[in-house]
A = this chain, B = another copy of it.
Amino acid sequence: MDETPGWLTPTEQHAWRSFLRMQEKLAARLGRELLADSKLSTPDYGVLVELTDAPDGRRRLQDLAGALEREQSRMSHHVARMVKRGLVVREECAGDGRGVLVAITPAGREAIEAAAPQHVSAVRRLFIDRLTPEELDTLARISDRIVAALEREPGRADPPPGGPAAPRAGGRSRHAPRPKP
C-alpha cells in the first residue's frame, strides 16, 4: 500500500521527523541559554564572533553578510539593532563612499568574551558529547554533502554561494581592508 512514487517510507518519515524536531529543539535551547546567560541572541553571537576575528575588530557589512551567509538586508537590519544596544558602531568606509564598516565596541567585546565559554560548553553538553566520534563524522559528511548539493542546484535564489571565504582579490582574504588616503 501507499506506493505513491514520491512518498516517504515509515522509516524515512521517522528520520525526517526526528531530524526536524532535533533541529528546532536544539536551536531553541541553545538560543535561550545564550540569551539568558549573556543577553545575546544567536545572530548577535555570530556577528560578534566574526568581528573579534578581524584583527582590528571591524569589517564591511557586505563582508559580514557573506561570512555568515546572511542576506545584506538582514545584516543591515540586525546591525541597526546592535548599534542601538551599543554592541557595535557603524563607521564610514574610507576609499568607498557607499561602503560601511561595522566595528565592535568595548561593550561588544566584553559581551562576547563573557558569552563564548558558556555557549561552547552548552554546545558540548547538549550535542557534541552525546555523539560518538563515528556519529559526529557521519554527521559532518552528511552535512557537507547536502550543503554542497544545495549550492550546486540553486532552485531559486539563495544567498549567493560566496561562502565564508569570499574570493577577494589581491590575496587578502580576511584582513580588514586598510585603505590609505
Say yes or no: is A126 at the interface (Cβ < 8 Å to chain B): yes
Closest B residue to A181 using CB positions? B4
Q: Mark A97-140, 1 if CB is under 8 A from B, else 0.
A: 00000000000000000000100110110111011000111111
Chain B residues whose C-beta falls within 8 Å of the C-beta of A147 in the assembled complex:
18, 21-22, 25
Report the Cα distance A93→B174, complex, angstroms: 55
A29 close to B150 (CB less than 8 A): yes
B175 touches A17 (CB 8 A): yes
Name the residue in A28, A33, A143, A149 with the highest tally of chain B Cβ atoms < 10 Å from its Cβ.
A143
- Copies of this protein, total: 2
Q: Taking the complex as formed, is A39 at the interface, i.e. its CB lies under 8 A from any CB of chain B?
A: no
Q: A140 contacts which chain B residues (CB < 8 A)?
A: 11, 14-15, 18-19
Provide a sorted-by-A list of 17 A–B residue pairs whose CB atoms are within 8 angstroms.
Answer: A7-B120, A8-B120, A12-B128, A13-B175, A14-B140, A14-B173, A15-B128, A15-B143, A18-B140, A19-B143, A22-B143, A22-B146, A25-B146, A26-B146, A36-B156, A130-B145, A135-B142
Does any Cβ of B come within 8 Å of A55's Cβ? no
A interface residues with partner B (beta carbon < 8 Å) = 4, 6-8, 10-19, 21-29, 32-33, 36, 69, 117, 120-121, 123-124, 126-128, 130-131, 135-147, 149-151, 155-156, 158, 173, 175-176, 178, 181
- Report chain B residues within 8 Å CB of A145: 130
Pair A21/B143 contact, Cβ less than 8 Å:
yes
Separation of A131 and B145 alpha carbons in the complex (Å): 9
